[in-house]
Structure 1
Amino acid sequence: MTPGALEGVRVADFSRVLAAPYATMLMADLGAEVIKVERPDGGDETRAWGPPWSDEGESTYFLSVNRNKTSRVLDLRSPHDREVALELVAGCDVVMENFRSGTMERLGLGYEELSERHPGLVYCSVTGFGSGAGADLPGYDLVAQAVGGLMSVTGSADSGPMKSGVALVDIVTGLHATIGVLAALRHRDRTGEGQRVEVNLLSSVLSAMSNQASTHAVTGAVPQAMGNLHPSIAPYEVLATADRPVAIAAANDKLFGLLAQAVGRPELADDPRFGSNADRVAHRAVLAAELEDALAGHGADHWFDVLSAQGVPCGPINDLGQAFDLARRLDLDPVREVPSAAGGSVATIANPISLSRTPAAYRTAPPPFVPRSGS
């Protein structure tokens, strides 16, 4: 097997649930050795987050973010186990933790203490609301979506605020943690100096809201929920067809002209109401009605083929099964099998990063929880 890009990097992973474990799984996929430290009373709480369960009785939630890791059970309240944890850290390049701020310090495993012993250590802390005034606030994705403004722009005026269908803030925060750790390792490779990396859910969601957050920062305006509409582009929305809806993203004048031709309404591109993107945004309701009238003659799959052939970005509203089918048709190989401890295999979702020389590897399924004798 080709060595991974992070071969030789060793991670002591004190994290649980989603954001930080997602980060350490990505690193493990790329060759890092990740040792997951779990508490004696059941381990990572996502092990109990079910249904659904795998055929071997594992939580599919836990399985989603813990492949390619090994597990050690340590009671960090025990002086003996804290010494074991210190020994573990001594052999590692990276520490990842997502306890509430101050917890690792109380356990004698905080950054200041560990970096004194190991100046090259990269120490990543993932919190809900930072280590300042928000240090005492517990952080969960749902809460971050709520207080971070994401729910306020998701949904519609009729539905009211809605959370995203997945723990999106956790995933984005995990990506930020990964980037931070890799940047810190690069710095350490040049200088020998480790450093602390801090990411939090609130800062991550504000950054991830991108153009919406920029609108507020620049103008002071407060964006509102617009359903499937875009505040700055039209047509960039979901439109009805003869069967199921299709998403169309004609984000510039050229694409709009191609769209008008493809749906058999070339005159729309010459209509002064739709002459520029700003015009189309101003008349989006009229434009949507015109387009839906043209799309009504065929179903979403037909329009997907026709519009895609013309270079117009579009796609039907798939369920997850249809999404997997599409990925397979496009040779993206979205599901891999990894060997499990029970001797079989378990399905896992492919790492989305493609590297030509050091690709992601799928070595082992997430580790089973093995209670210590007497635990």
Structure 2
Amino acid sequence: MPHIPASAALSHLRVIDLTQVRAGPTCCRQLADWGADVVQVQMPEHMRGDDTLGGQEGSDYQYTHRNKRSITLNLKEAEGIALLKQLIAQADVVVENFRPDVKFRLGIDYDSLKGDNPGLIYASISGFGQTGPLAQRPGFDQIAQGMGGLMSVTGLPGEGPMRVGIPIADLCAGIFAAQGILVAVIERQKSGQGQWLHTSLLESMVYMMDFQTSRWLIDGEVATQAGNFHPTSIPTGVYKARDGYMNIAVFGSKIWERFCDILGAPQWVTDERYKDKPSRSVNRDALNAEINERLAAQDCAYWIQRLNEGGVACGLINSMDAVFEEPQVQHLKMVKDVVSPHQGPQRLVGQPVQLERTPSTIARTTPRRGEHSEEILGELGVSAADLARLKSTGVY
């Protein structure tokens, strides 16, 4: 079966996916979800390492590799490398997340490939960058979270560093790489030339620190842990109503006045302890205690309705099952119901960006390893006899 695009938006692009684990596959999933023909190149079953997300039948893997086709090639064999180069010669994009030296050793680095494909866009994702003193170190999401500063500002004060609950360095590196690829595709329309682009878990994590970086680089202030409360906008954080917890965000003096009125404490507006942002910062613990005391009189639903009606941002803190019971999440149709030929019905989260004319869908569920090997090799012109020989010799 030929390529079935998940969207018309990128259906003209072919991407060779040489990645494994999460950052690289996330990048390629983004492209596949918008219609690119993503060909996932994996080692044959008898040679595979621990390169999967909880196993190929697991929910994590099923979510990450939808909308792709899969081919196996033994890149330790000369014929396997030769077939890969044939694929790349006809492709628009290559994405890899080998250790920085591996692609050069295999002869599949950008400079080695661009002669046969001058328009090739080659994306590399690594732990720490392609060059520099740490370039050859193995990369892992939590290591980047720590080195990039995120863990130093996450968690409760005095309780030590805390990782966030998702692999955010992996995910951001993958999404930034996909964005870089699209920028390069647009630039290629002017120049006719491809290029090498690269990002890393560490770079993505430093970039994602956002205002915390400017607090240091411009203001000279080293951020510390603020727990569930915003470090500079007060009061903003987690508060407890009668029946549970909720988030409240109070930004700006006008919103602060409305918040005080809704909580029945208009005197806070002129209280010397709370009247302005610096005062509230100094007295945040006392203010938070007073807020919780007033919130305890009613349930979360009552306060959420009252506060939102008054223009004060607030919301429940949902467990994952409750997320998908949210009426707004259901209205946005983020969950896609699909049927895997291997596993039956599945529910997967779709793209968070809606393009009205060229929407993203899930056109294919996640393939088994090498499911499309013969199909893709046939598109290269490999004969049935050669397919049999290549299979018998372990090339794919």
Partner of 2:85: 86
Partner of 1:176: 176
Confirm whether residue 318 of structure 1 aligns to residue 343 of structure 2. Answer: no
Return the alpha-carbon distance in structure 1 between the equivalents of residues 343 and 233 of structure 2: 52
How big is the shift at 1:191? 1.3
Return the alpha-carbon distance in structure 2 between the equivalents of residues 161 and 7 of structure 1: 44
By relative contact order (CA 8 Å, sep 6+), the higher-ranking structure is 2
Partner of 1:53: none
- Structure 1 residue matching 2:302: 3-state secondary structure: helix
User: What residue identity is the alignment partner of 1:116?
Assistant: G
Return the alpha-carbon distance in structure 1 between the equivalents of residues 252 and 122 of structure 2: 44
How big is the shift at 1:116? 2.1
User: What residue identity is the alignment partner of 2:281?
Assistant: V
Return the alpha-carbon distance in structure 2 between the equivalents of residues 301 and 330 of structure 1: 19
- Structure 2 residue matching 1:240: 3-state secondary structure: strand
- Structure 2 residue matching 1:80: 3-state secondary structure: helix
Partner of 1:124: 123
Partner of 2:54: 49
How big is the shift at 1:7? 1.5
Confirm whether residue 16 of structure 1 aligns to residue 20 of structure 2. Answer: yes
Partner of 2:224: 224
Partner of 1:33: 37
Return the alpha-carbon distance in structure 2 between the equivalents of residues 373 and 341 of structure 1: 27
Matches within 5 A, 1:277-356: 277-326=277-326, 328=328, 331-342=331-342, 344-356=344-356
How big is the shift at 1:192? 0.3
How big is the shift at 1:75? 1.3
Return the alpha-carbon distance in structure 2 between the equivalents of residues 328 and 341 of structure 1: 31
User: What residue identity is the alignment partner of 2:176?
Assistant: H
Q: Which runs of 5+ in 2 are unaligned?
A: 372-390
How big is the shift at 1:43? 4.9
How big is the shift at 1:317? 1.6
State the aligned residue count.
Answer: 369
- Structure 2 residue matching 1:131: 3-state secondary structure: coil
Max radius of gyration: which structure? 2
Change over 3 Å in CA distance of 1:94–1:309 after alignment to 2:
same
RMSD: 2.0
How big is the shift at 1:329? 5.6
Match of 2:8 among 4, 7, 10: 4
Partner of 2:384: none
User: What residue identity is the alignment partner of 2:97?
Assistant: N
- Structure 2 residue matching 1:83: 3-state secondary structure: helix
Return the alpha-carbon distance in structure 2 between the equivalents of residues 26 and 143 of structure 1: 24
Identity of aligned residues (%): 33
TM-score of the aligned structures, taking structure 1 as reference length? 0.93
TM-score of the aligned structures, taking structure 2 as reference length? 0.88
Change over 3 Å in CA distance of 1:26–1:175 after alignment to 2:
same
CA deviation profile, 1:272-319 (whole Å, cap 9, x unmatched): 322222222222112111211110101222222221222211112211
User: What residue identity is the alignment partner of 1:124?
Assistant: A
